[in-house]
Structure formats: C-alpha cells, structure tokens
Amino acid sequence: MPPSHEFMSELRAAADVLAGPEGLTRYRQLVAEALYRRFQCSMASLWLLREAPAGRFLECVAAFSENPELNAAGTELHEKDFQVYFDTLIRTKVYNSPDAQEDPHLAGLKDSYLLPQGVRALLDVAFQINGQPLGVLCIEQRETPRIWSKVDEVDLRNAASVIGISIARHRNDEQQTSVA
C-alpha cells in the first residue's frame, strides 16, 4: 500500500480510541504521532481554535517531537498577534512556509516560538466541522529550511478532512449518549 494510503488508514484506525476511556486526548496524540511519521518532520502537532473575550487563539493540544524537550503542547498563539497567519489559514486553509524564520508574516512568532523551538519550516492546514474552523494540523522542520511538496500539502489536507470527520462523529456520538 502506498505511504499516503497507509497514513490515511492509520488516521482512520486512530479514531477507534475516541469511544474508549482515553478518548479525545489519546486520539489527538495518535494523530500527532502519525503526522510525525508520515512527514518525517521534526515535530507534528494538533492545535484547536478557541474563542475568548480577548479574541481567538490557537492552543496546542497534542504534539510529537524528535526532541521531547522541544514540544509545543500547551502553547497558545493569539490571532491579534499573528493576524496575517490567521487570515491566510482561515481563507486558504493552508500556510506553507519553507523558511519560517525569514517569513515576514511570521515575524511576530520568531522570538516567542520559532527560535525557542528551532523551527525553520512549517506547513499548517486548518480543519473544520460543518464549515466551522476547528483547528490546525502543523508539521515543522527544525534547523534547516524545507520545501514542502504538493504531495505533502495534499496529504495534510486529506488528513485534516479525516480528522474533522472523526471529531464530528465523536461529538455526535457524545450528544446521542447524553440524550439517552
């Protein structure tokens, strides 16, 4: 089976844990690990879009890294600080930066996130449920720039679709169970 098919199968299989006791937390971690393996990147992470009185922000809810000491889990990125990045993600559903430290739209992230994490390249794809933005899948490369291929972008977009569907089904199942 080609790597892209294996990867999608792995993501679909990961959704089986959603019904278990570890549920969503374990699913998110399995997704981050699958992304890391598929893209052979330095770190893969899953971010949720949150609403707050001060505005929207992304919160990293799961990450898998080649270096466990460099991990984005728990990090928050606020829309007001990174407007162009957020606008691009919402409008096009993808943010591709082969050299993030030189990307003028990510300048606000440089000192607070890119340099401390050693991030040189990133490819982010937004995922949604019923047309509403829910979060972002992020793959990153440390130390050297990286040109992400069209296949990488397509596979990450497909992963975003699978993940959005899996989470929507999970939410639907939870609502059905709470009604019963």
Give residue-wise pLDDT tens across range 20-46: 777 888 999 999 999 999 999 999 999
Q: Which amino acid is at 138?
A: C
The predicted structure's pLDDT at residue 122:
96
Decide: 158 and 8 in contact? Cβ < 8 Å.
Answer: yes
**Mean pLDDT value across residues 4-19:** 85
Asked if residue 1 has pLDDT above 50, the reply is: no
Q: Which domains does the chain have, with CATH numbers?
A: 3-172 (3.30.450.40)
The predicted structure's pLDDT at residue 176:
65
Lowest mean pLDDT among 47-61, 66-80, 164-178: 164-178
Share above pLDDT 70 across residues of the chain, in percent, rounded to a whole number: 94
Decide: 141 and 130 in contact? Cβ < 8 Å.
Answer: no
Asked if residue 128 has pLDDT above 90, the reply is: no
**Mean pLDDT value across residues 146-173:** 89
Give residue-wise pLDDT tens across range 84-103: 888 888 888 999 999 999 99
The predicted structure's pLDDT at residue 41:
95
Beta strands in 26-170 (DSSP E): 43-50, 57-65, 76-78, 94-97, 119-129, 132-142
Cβ neighbours of 40 (radius 10 Å): 11
